[in-house]
Structure 1
């Protein structure tokens, strides 16, 4: 279990930051033969990325939404995200090809979605939590006194934590 830090924490990160959401909608839950392979592919991809320090993946969180599972990923660059997505020698591209082939045989059984955000400025606050979100993917630091308010942290963006 992660250590809970009772203090006021924020994240610290300098450089390009990409937040990528990817998920699936299970439209026919009684057909795991159709959505199961897509569901099982994500852990393999995350394991592959997490063991490669040059992949660009900074961190991730697995979540469950109303229509199915999704992952929030933090990346060091858009280029590294796209390079992984298109690489024929890594897990994603073959999994995507298999998904498309299966989806054509059973339209509407499972859906996939993603959203990509290039983050210019980010503000975060963690009180009484273990490392999570941006603080898990980047660096977790104490909130400097002069950045006690969200407005001050946001105004300084990625450098708010290093200013104190």
Structure 2
């Protein structure tokens, strides 16, 4: 695991959408019902990552006490909606399967999502592996003037001055 040295933030121009999507294991003893839902998400992420025009900028898989979830970064809400409704892509058939299962066993597994269209964002990562917004967009070094979150947010970290746009997006 490669650690990004120093203090870095992200840089991105354009619409930025943060999408949280997850599931809850309401009946942990029913893996026959929740495992198909659980395994659908990685397949969708691979499909999106392989298509540079999908609008997906990056993602992180996480887990909380209720179950797994993903934080996704998108270039536009329209591209997110287009993927969600495209019958030729993996999401729509997976959603149809989930709905059929949920009608029979509504208590077994839950799904949820939240969508945020971000006007301005600020981020700070110090001595971490590449992750979050810098991984999904472009990683830039933070100069002394921008060490405070208040300053980065006031200036809109999604549109940092050209003098800070020195580091490239990690592979």
TM-score interval w.r.t. the shorter chain?
over 0.9
1-structure distance, mates of 2:148, 2:160 = 11
Cα distance change, pair 161–31 in 1 and its aligned pair in 2 (3 A): farther
Residue 130 of structure 1, CA deviation: 1.4
2:169 counterpart residue number: none
Q: Is the 8 A contact 1:12 1:160 kept in 2?
A: yes
- The 3-state SS of whatever aligns with 1:48 is helix
Structure 2: give runs of 5+ residues left out of the alignment.
165-171
Task: Find runs of 4+ consecutive structure 1 residues off by over 6 angstroms.
Answer: none
Residue 161 of structure 1, CA deviation: 5.3
Q: Does 1:149 align with 2:148?
A: yes
Question: Deviations 1:33-54 (Å, cap 9, x if unpaired)?
Answer: 1111111100110000000000
Q: Is the 8 A contact 1:4 1:129 kept in 2?
A: yes
Residue 163 of structure 1, CA deviation: 4.9
2-structure distance, mates of 1:111, 1:159 = 37
Under a length normalisation based on structure 2, what TM-score does the superposition of the two structures give? 0.93
Alignment size in residue pairs: 163
1-structure distance, mates of 2:50, 2:38 = 20
- The 3-state SS of whatever aligns with 2:151 is helix
Residue 5 of structure 1, CA deviation: 2.0
Matched ranges for 1:63-142 at <5 A: 63-142=62-141
1:29 counterpart residue number: 28
Structure 1: give runs of 5+ residues left out of the alignment.
none
- The 3-state SS of whatever aligns with 1:123 is coil
- The 3-state SS of whatever aligns with 2:65 is coil
Question: Deviations 1:105-146 (Å, cap 9, x if unpaired)?
Answer: 111100000000000000011111111100000000100222
2:15 counterpart residue number: 16
2-structure distance, mates of 1:161, 1:35 = 46
Under a length normalisation based on structure 1, what TM-score does the superposition of the two structures give? 0.96
Q: Does 1:159 align with 2:166?
A: no
RMSD: 1.0
Residue 162 of structure 1, CA deviation: 3.4
